[in-house]
Amino acid sequence: MKKYVFPYFLFLAVAIYAQQAKDSIATNHLNEVVVALGRIDLPLSENSRSIQIITAETIRQSGVNNVADLLQQVAGVDVRRRGVDGTQADLYIRGGSFDQTLLLIDGIKLEDAQTGHHTLNFVLPLEVIERIEIVKGPAARVFGQNAFTGAINIVTKTSLSTTAVLAARVGSFEQRNGEATFGTSNENSSLLAHYSIKSSDGYRFNTDFTNHNVFLKGQFNRTTTPINVIASFSDRKFGANGFYALPSYADQYEETQASLVALSTRIQKDKWVFKPRLYWRRGQDMYLFVRNNPAIYRNLHITHKVGASLDASYYSDLGTTGLGIDLARVSIDSNNLGERERFVTTLFAEHRFQLLNNSLDITPGLAVSNYTDFGTQFFPGIDIGLAIRPKFRLYANAGYTYRIPTFTDLYYSDSTTIGNENLKAEEAITEEFGFRWTKNKAQISMAFFNRSAENLIDYIRPTTEGRFKATNIRKVNTQGIELEVKTQFVSWNQPQLFTLGYTYLTDDVDQINIDFSRYSINSLRHHLTFNQVANFNKNLSLTWNYKLGQRPERDAYHVFDASIRYKINAVELNLSVFNIFDEVYSESNLVPLPLSNGTFGLRFAF
């Protein structure tokens, strides 16, 4: 442990210096971010849920190059990566599965009916992201299906502060990355365009990749009825050494595509606000068991989701009422799963009451979903918040949440695995209690949560020689506690920032013979993150990140990353080093992650 001593002392020194420098702490309050969740938009300080915001400035200072690595810095968010630069990763929140976490872009729900394993295929380049809203806990009554343990909403920029940004990066494993972002804006319209390409020869055999990203966003009629149009496309080709099945299967290969086109607007009329959306999302996944021999085993899945939604809010003396309807046709065309489709209709209703001179708010809500293949599901919930003082807020929430089986759960078939058309929906009751304290540039939040889930889907077999079959078998009670401390102070006449996060959770699992079960609960029991941004002057800054992760019956791992940025007018140089101390660890399927590696980048804004 000696190699970790210095960063701990650095953490202590920063805390002591922050106390000594309290007289020079900036008096400005933390910027109020209006969280665009569902139908009732509220400032973060008035929300009665566990919500974390990652702003564009935080992203710029994070020292990472992609969303997967960025979310690694958030305690309670378990991103299980396979490889470097976010090529393939799965997203978990508070011990749930990747099928139980919902991803949204500008409020558009992007769940994949084939499998949640493809969720992060839709994430966007960091340069076009305005902020990321992370909602932990039950969110089904707000978003519907798949928000079982939480949701992540990526809010995109409408324009650039400059005309264009050009960037290039090289690094270990022959990484070669280039990107260009252009923007134009006037009083009535704006346009943002981005293209990037990433490639690498791989950090070990058959882990090479080539990724392309295209993003367009236009906003028109700003001064009257704004019209927003977004389009994104991601194409990834990568060697998948040990990514799936047994870790010894070294010749696997995969290609994925993720596309989104959406049209939205916001209409305000008297006390009403309407937010209609139309969208189409497409996913494609081609998998080869042996890269150079498709004849041995090949899967090709193409999914579509075509949807329309209308969210509305009404403001009155009795509070704020939120109403919504979401219609979606989901389909898949697959050589393994066949041609399948379902139509989903979801209705939302909620009302926020404000009592005791607005110090107490109570928001009950209900969502009802009808599936053409799974019938009708109801998921009620309630949020309660109490402002003890202007800067101190207590909150509690509870709700019923659920997940419909994916087409993979229902219909997949190969020599070792078989789906089950008789599966039931996974369901859970979740409760949470927490507080949030904010003063000047400091914020402390803590939450306690409990989730009682049943009908969780596992793949089991009757004997060690049989095929694994999808089965509703597990009951899991998950309990945990989360803490986040964030503070900013002034030193060297520059803002200094550090953030500390910790999550502890425990799963009480019905015991199943591991020889007959494919999936075992493998949540991060202890998850500690620490981030420090040291600005030495307006040109030079240093960022370092630390993560501790520990899963049941496995040793803890400690990962340190650091980056340094130097800016000269419009030019910025950055050097990032990851896994500085060569920690040996894996996050998914025993795929070893790279030892110490780095990138050097050049960014030019004009």
Kind of pairing between the strands at 468-491 and 417-418: parallel
Q: 224's torsion region: left (phi>0), alpha (psi -120 to 50) or beta?
A: alpha
Whether residue 20 has pLDDT greater than 80: no
Q: Which tens digits make up the pLDDT trace of 43-94? A: 888 888 999 999 998 998 888 999 999 999 999 999 999 988 988 999 999 9
**Average pLDDT of every residue of the chain:** 89
d(CA 395, CA 383): 7
Question: What are the tokens at 369?
Answer: 């979903």
pLDDT of residue 31: 52
Instruction: Please report the pLDDT score of residue 512 as a whole number.
Output: 60
DSSP code, position 121 = G
| pLDDT band of 249, cuts 50, 70, 90 | very high
Name the token pair of 95: 């011990």
What is the distance between the alpha carbons of residues 219 and 230, in angstroms, rounded to a whole number?
9
- Give the range of the structural domain holding residue 56, as residue numbers without chain letter: 2-605
| Residue 4: pLDDT band with limits 50, 70, 90 | very low
pLDDT score of 411: 95
Which range among 14-18, 278-282, 332-336, 527-531 shows the weakest confidence by mean pLDDT? 14-18
Question: What pLDDT shows up at residue 209?
Answer: 97
Q: What does the pLDDT read at residue 3?
A: 43
Domain count, the chain: 1
- Specify the pLDDT at position 520: 62
Mind listing the pLDDT tens digit for each residue in 157-194? 988 878 899 999 999 999 999 999 999 998 899 999 99
Neighbours of 7 (CB within 10 A): 19
Average pLDDT over residues 27-38: 60
**How far does CA 503 lie from the centroid of its chain?**
16
Q: What is the mean pLDDT of residues 521-535?
A: 91
Half-sphere exposure of 398 (CA within 13 A, CB side): 4
Q: Which of 64-73, 459-468, 565-574 is least confident?
A: 459-468
Q: Which residues contact 270 (CB under 8 A, 6 or more apart)?
A: none
**Residue corresponding to tokens 């393939």:** 88
Report how far Cα 411 is from the mean position of its chain's Cα atoms: 27
Tokens read off for 54? 């990652």
Which uninterrupted H or E stretch holds 16?
Answer: helix 5-20
Q: Which range in 9-13, 42-46, 211-215, 493-497 is most confidently predicted, on average pLDDT?
A: 211-215
Model confidence band, residue 140 (pLDDT cutoffs 50, 70, 90): confident
The predicted pLDDT at position 517 comes to 64
Residue 7 pLDDT exceeds 60: no
DSSP string, 157-184: PS--SSSEEEEEEEEGGGEEEEEEEEEE
**Segment 196-218, tens digit of pLDDT:** 999 999 999 999 999 999 999 99
Question: Which DSSP symbol is given to 128?
Answer: G
In the block, which residue shows the tokens 């193409």?
A: 302
Q: What is the CATH number of the domain that holds 579?
A: 2.40.170.20
Q: Is 61 exposed, middle or buried (0-12, 13-18, 19+ CB in 10 A)?
A: buried
Q: How confident is the model at residue 518, as a pLDDT?
A: 66
According to DSSP, residue 519 is labeled -
Alpha helices (H) along 362-431: 407-411
Instruction: Work out the average pLDDT over 502-530.
Output: 79
* Rounded distance between C-alpha atoms, residue 279 and residue 149, angstroms: 24
Measure the CA–CA gap between 565 and 598, rounded to whole angstroms: 14
Q: Give the model's pLDDT for residue 137.
A: 86
Q: Cα(452)–Cα(427) distance, rounded to whole angstroms?
A: 9
- Mean pLDDT, rounded, for 307-314: 96
Q: What is the pLDDT of residue 17?
A: 40
The band of 264, judged by pLDDT with boundaries at 50, 70 and 90, is very high
Q: pLDDT value at position 515?
A: 55
Confidence of residue 1 (pLDDT cuts 50, 70, 90): very low
Gap between the Cα atoms of 515 and 451, Å rounded: 27
The C-alpha atoms of residue 558 and residue 573 are separated, in whole angstroms, by: 27
pLDDT at 530 over 60: yes
Which of 591, 601, 564, 563 has its CA nearest to residue 579?
563
The H-or-E segment that residue 143 falls in is helix 140-143
Closest of 518, 522, 496, 488 to residue 507, by C-alpha? 522
For residue 77, which phi and psi values (nearest 5 degrees)? -105, 115
Average pLDDT, stretch 250-278? 96
Which residues on neighbouring strands pair with residue 43, listed in sequence order?
34
What Rg do the C-alpha atoms of the chain give, in angstroms?
Answer: 24
Q: What is the pTM of this model?
A: 0.92
What pLDDT does residue 196 have? 97
pLDDT at 9 over 60: no
- Residue 516 has a pLDDT of 61
Place of tokens 């979903």: 369
Cβ atoms 208, 201 nearer than 8 A = yes
* 194 and 180 Cβ atoms separated by less than 8 Å: yes
